[in-house]
Amino acid sequence: MLISMHMKLESLPAKESTCPQEPVALPIIFEDNHIVVVIKPHGVCVDDMLLELQTKYGYAATVHRLDQVTGGVMVFARSSKAASRLSEQIARHAFEKTYLAVVVAMPKNREATLVNYLLKNEVKNEVSVVPAATTGAKRAELFYRVRKTPVTAEGVLVEVNLVTGRTHQIRVQMSHIGCAIWGDAKYGKKTDGELALWAHEISFTHPTTDEVMRFIVNPPETVPWTSFDFDRQSHKTRGV
């Protein structure tokens, strides 16, 4: 099954604050008795989303997360069986996540695998690249490639596939190679707009039917995303 969607979302402030925030309506693009797939707006906390889904369904659980300042497609489990089986897929790297980001400089290599060790400062809520032997450091790996789109005044469009899922991972690793994400006040330079990092696609096996499911959601029609062509649609298409 393939589901692709673009929706105009209300623009929310891109904040690095902690939960809770005001309730927000969540665009649901797929649901059944075991999973619900939603579009996370920028600036919304995953824990607030979870609370709303638990209120709606009775049971809901997170199996992956997005930073508060990151938007895009997410799946939540609606049963304990689904939560367990989706978590197992993530653990064995069978759950695929693809992100889009606008970076402020052209990477030295148009595609590459980045491997670093990251350490989080819990007090400052900041993550740094550190030597591998550093106590508490966690291995982080991603693959990026530059998309075949024009280089604009806002930057360069890259596609990122995560191998690991560390806090602020894409933001830190891209900044470390001199390619901070547009709008990233923490690891780059603040601009007038939301962080240009978007969870574009997820692919996984349905936890009970074993059907391969793929969901694609385009970024919002805001700067800097409007500088790039995503073959936008105002409707949902489904295909098997």
* 62-111 pLDDT tens trace: 999 999 999 999 999 999 999 999 999 999 999 999 999 999 999 999 99
Look at the block and give the residue holding tokens 């919304």. 44
Listed range (7-11, 23-27, 200-204) with the worst mean pLDDT: 7-11
Percent of the chain with pLDDT over 90: 78
Residue 216: inside a domain: yes
Q: Is residue 232 part of a domain?
A: no
Amino acid at 117: Y
Q: Does residue 229 fall inside a structural domain?
A: no
> Which of 6-20, 23-37, 119-133 is least confident?
6-20
Expressed as residue numbers, the domain containing 117 is 2-223
6 or 26, which is more confident:
26
Integer Cα distance of 186 and 179 in angstroms: 13
Assess contact for 141 and 113: CB atoms under 8 A: yes
Split at pLDDT 50, 70, 90, the class of 2 is low
Alpha carbon distance 12, 67 (integer Å):
14
pLDDT of the residue at 152: 82
Residue 65 forms part of a structural domain: yes
What is the pTM assigned to this prediction? 0.86
Q: Which letter, b or e, does each residue of 195-231 get, where b requires 16 or more Cβ atoms within 10 Å of its Cβ?
A: bbbbbbbbbbebbeeeeebebbbbbbeebbbeebebe
228 in a structural domain = no
| E-strand stretches of 32-122 | 35-40, 61-62, 71-77, 96-103, 111-121
Amino acid (1-letter code) at residue 41: P
CA–CA separation, 6 and 234 (whole Å): 6
Question: 128: part of which helix (H) or strand (E)?
Answer: strand 126-130
Domain with 153 in it: what CATH number? 3.30.2350.10
Tens digits of per-residue pLDDT, 187-236?
998 787 899 999 999 999 999 999 999 999 999 999 999 988 876 543 33
Instruction: Give, for 171, the enclosing helix (H) or strand (E).
Output: helix 169-176
Number of domains making up the chain: 1
In which residue are the tokens 């930057």 written? 155
Tens-digit pLDDT profile for residues 216-230: 999 999 999 998 887
Band of residue 23 on the pLDDT scale cut at 50, 70, 90: low
Residue 81 lies in a domain: yes
Residue 41 located in a structural domain: yes
